[in-house]
Amino acid sequence: MGLVSGKKALILGIANERSLAYVIAQRLASEGAAMVVTYQGEAVESRVRNLASELQAAAVEPCDVTRDGDIDAVVDATGRALGGLDLVVHAVAFADKEALVGRYCDVTRPSFLKALEIGAYSFTALARSAARLMQSSGGSMLTLTYFGAEKVVPHYNVMGVTKAALEASVRYIAADLGPDAIRVNAISAGPIKTLSAKGVRDFNSMLSLAGERSPLRRNITGRDVADAALFLLSDLGAGVTGEVLHVDAGYNIMGM
């Protein structure tokens, strides 16, 4: 028996095979979870469908997280396809390219609101909707964040502010849903080469610095994140909620 055998999962945020959402989904599938995955836009649909086939996903559903109706629809579709919902993985974020260069304080109002809506509010809306299907038996929700929520990381800019809002949301949602035995956590992953990472200027320098200065003297892998996600989503993490777990080879503990 796997650690999540019989569990029903909804995965948001797969874009390609390097996506942390995909690596987490692979790990959950290897431990017995059934799942539904989502995509946003025709540009990635065929790619996500191919990956979903490898995961033996029960369904592949479109979802624009800026629309509450889409979120409710994909949650309901998951319930129908799987016969319930136990686990949610949220790996969704976006920022305009121009908001990731220069000074943070020069971010425009539209860019700020778009980043916050997609990267932070979407998790709140998803949690509210998913909780409808979890209240009878509890469940576990997970989102992904980054150290730029805690400290200033050059060029991370509005994404750092977005992730800070996301981490605060994790704590508030955990308090809201705890009485229903629903756990809510986040993983703060170290820098790792994903599609979204390409949008951050000087990312390779960030990657090199983290590898050189972390206590473990290495960069993290997708498997590192997936194993931590499995812990938090499975019954092994039954006593953990409202937490932001750093999976960054220890980089966050270092000073100069």
SS3 14: coil
Rounded Cα gap, residues 136 and 69, in angstroms:
23
156 a catalytic residue? yes
Considering the candidates 22, 39, 121, 156, report the single residue annotated as catalytic: 156
Helix (H, G, I), strand (E, B) or coil at 17: coil
The count of residues in the chain is 256
Sheet strands side by side (includes 34-39): 59-62, 34-39, 8-12, 87-90, 139-145, 182-189, 244-247
Distance of CA 233 to the CA centre of its chain: 12
Q: How many CB atoms lie within 10 A of CB 117?
A: 15
What is the SS3 assignment for 31? coil
HSE toward the beta carbon, residue 44, CA cutoff 13 A: 21
Q: Which of 121, 146, 172, 251 is catalytic?
A: 146
Active site residues: 146, 156
